[in-house]
Amino acid sequence: MNAFELVAAAFGIVSVFLSTRQNVLSWPTSLVNVTMYTMIFLEQRLYGLMAIQVFFAAVSIYGWYEWLFGGEAKTELKVSRTGSRLGAALLSIGLLGWLALYLVLRATNDSAPLIDAFFFAVSLVAQWMMARKLLECWPIWISINCISVPFFLLRHNYATAGQYAVFLVLAVMGWRHWKASLVASS
């Protein structure tokens, strides 16, 4: 475990905590986290996880704008539900993205192409949903975190595994807080 990974994990935890509270500062802290993890995952030959950091950076900029101006008449965006059509489309994108990226990554020297492709595709869907404040992003993050913790423990990435363990707790909190916010605004 090194200091760089610890700092990256700390920024990730702060970012997700701020997200659970719908605090727009979650997006700039996310930018720091994903920049640092791009370098960490490159070093570990986890190319899907490295590449997703670039997409996370783009979605962070998008989410930052959306949370501030994505609501009615360019106001603050409110928590909403994912409709069945959008949910089906996002599920399809996640599954097809997972398969396509797996086929690409297995042709490289990626150290874990199946799980790496899963993290990329499903996390991208969840992050976009978070940028749009769709409540159902949280159960997806819970699932991702449940898989991430043992994956990173087995790889001896203890700071990253710890980060995802905290993310798991924060995702449960975020789901509860966002659900209450949705009820309060109805």
Give one DSSP letter per residue of 34-66, joined into a string: HHHHHHHHHHTT-HHHHHHHHHHHHHHHHHHHH
pLDDT score at 48 = 82
The pTM (predicted TM-score) of the whole model is: 0.90
What's the average model confidence in pLDDT over 111-140?
A: 95
Q: How are the residues of the chain apportioned to helix, strand and coil, as percentages rounded to the nearest 5?
A: 80, 0, 20
pLDDT score at 70 = 87
Can you tell me whether residue 134 is helix, strand or coil? strand
pLDDT score at 49 = 86
Query: Which pLDDT tens digit goes with each residue over 145-169?
Result: 999 999 999 999 898 899 999 999 9
pLDDT above 90: percentage of residues in the chain: 85
Checking if the pLDDT of 86 tops 70, the result is yes
pLDDT score at 1 = 61
Q: Give the whole-angstrom CA distance, residue 116 versus residue 111.
A: 8
